[in-house]
């Protein structure tokens, strides 16, 4: 049985999360900024389909990627050096989240519900959610967004409209975070694609222990300056 959260209910310990489905911890509550920030600090995130109650997850093991260890393939490195793109930070965060919420195929669904979109736009305005955007010919070609608390960045989703646009954004995100002393990119769920980028699994207990340090150190919540993301690859 999982815990049902009321408006003021605290999260249960993550050790109580189910093994099947892996990481399901609780249901209910809301998507207020306070609830979401508390969740991320504890290694918990919301993930649910439209029409379902809010579901809260903390999988074990956890997929993480230190920014300094991101693998840039030879083909991507060549693509990055072409400079036929512009990378911006936080210039169109709501548009990036909305684009990530579009179904990936005909008839497909999305977990980025209207309520989720509104909640993360609120967090963006408070300085906790950030977007990395690839622009080509004056148009938004791809990008990603996530939550930043202290020295931890929690990757949420990415999208692409032009080949390699999301990869360009991710490469710049990793370089930007590394230059600013971030300790980890939380990738949440395990996947072969993330592993190919250098991500690895760690025990949830180790991850949560790290968060206790990472989320109270480093950069405060703020808008990330676009100029800092440009020309990170030459």
For 104-127, how does the pLDDT look when each residue is reduced to its tens digit (9 = 90+)?
655 555 778 999 999 999 999 999
| Residue 2, number of CB atoms within 10 A of its CB | 15
Give the tens place of pLDDT for each residue, 4-17: 999 999 999 999 99
SS3 of residue 5 by DSSP: strand
Q: To which residue do tokens 């990055």 refer?
A: 80
For residue 55, what are the β-bridge partners?
27
Asked whether residue 192 carries a pLDDT value surpassing 90, the answer given is: no
| pLDDT of 226 | 63
Q: What is the pTM of this model?
A: 0.92
- Displacement of CA 231 from its chain's centroid (Å): 23
Q: How many CB atoms lie within 10 A of CB 19?
A: 9
The greatest distance separating any two alpha carbons of the chain, rounded to the nearest whole angstrom, comes to 53
Query: And the tokens for 228?
Result: 């800092």
Whether residue 214 contacts residue 184, with contact meaning beta carbons closer than 8 Å, is answered with yes
Domain boundaries, the chain: 3-59, 63-229
For residue 185, what is the enclosing H or E element?
strand 184-188
Q: Is the bond leading into 129 cis (omega within 30 degrees of zero)?
A: no
pLDDT class of 224 with cuts at 50, 70, 90: confident
From its phi and psi, is residue 171 left (phi > 0), alpha (psi between -120 and 50) or beta?
Answer: alpha
Share of the chain above pLDDT 70, in %: 91
Residue 108's CB is within 10 A of a number of other CB atoms, namely 8
Q: b vs e for 148-157, b when ≥16 Cβ sit within 10 Å of the residue's Cβ?
A: bbbbbbbbbb
How many C-alpha atoms does 97 have within 13 Å on its Cβ side?
25
Confidence (pLDDT) at 152: 96
Q: Are 147 and 129 in contact (CB under 8 A)?
A: yes
* 3-59 CATH fold: Alpha-Beta Plaits (3.30.70)
How many other CB atoms sit within 10 Å of the CB of residue 131?
28
- Strand, helix or coil for residue 210: helix
CATH classification code of 63-229: 3.40.630.70
Is residue 183's pLDDT more than 80?
Answer: yes
d(CA 22, CA 79): 37
Q: What are phi and psi of 230, to 5 degrees?
A: -80, 145
């Amino acid at each position: 049985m999982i815990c049902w959260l009321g408006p003021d209910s605290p999260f249960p310990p993550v050790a109580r999360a189910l093994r099947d489905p892996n990481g399901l911890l609780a249901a209910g509550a809301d998507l207020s900024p306070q609830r979401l920030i508390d969740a991320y600090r504890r290694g918990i995130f919301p993930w649910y389909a439209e029409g379902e109650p809010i579901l809260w997850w903390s999988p074990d093991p956890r997929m993480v990627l230190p920014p300094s260890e991101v693998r840039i393939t030879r083909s991507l490195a060549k693509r990055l050096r072409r400079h036929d793109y512009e990378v911006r930070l936080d210039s169109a965060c709501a548009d990036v989240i909305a684009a990530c919420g579009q179904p990936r195929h005909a008839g497909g669904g999305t977990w980025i519900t209207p309520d989720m979109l509104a909640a993360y736009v609120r967090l963006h305005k408070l300085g906790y959610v950030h977007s990395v955007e690839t622009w080509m010919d004056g148009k938004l070609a791809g990008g990603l967004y996530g939550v930043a608390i202290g020295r931890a960045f929690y990757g949420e989703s990415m999208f692409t409209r032009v080949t390699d646009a999301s990869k360009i954004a991710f490469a710049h995100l990793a370089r930007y975070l590394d230059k600013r002393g971030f300790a980890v990119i939380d990738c949440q769920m395990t996947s072969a694609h993330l592993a190919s980028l250098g991500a690895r699994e760690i025990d949830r207990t180790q991850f949560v222990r790290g968060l206790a340090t990472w989320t109270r150190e480093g950069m405060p919540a703020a808008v990330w300056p676009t100029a800092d993301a440009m020309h990170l690859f030459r």
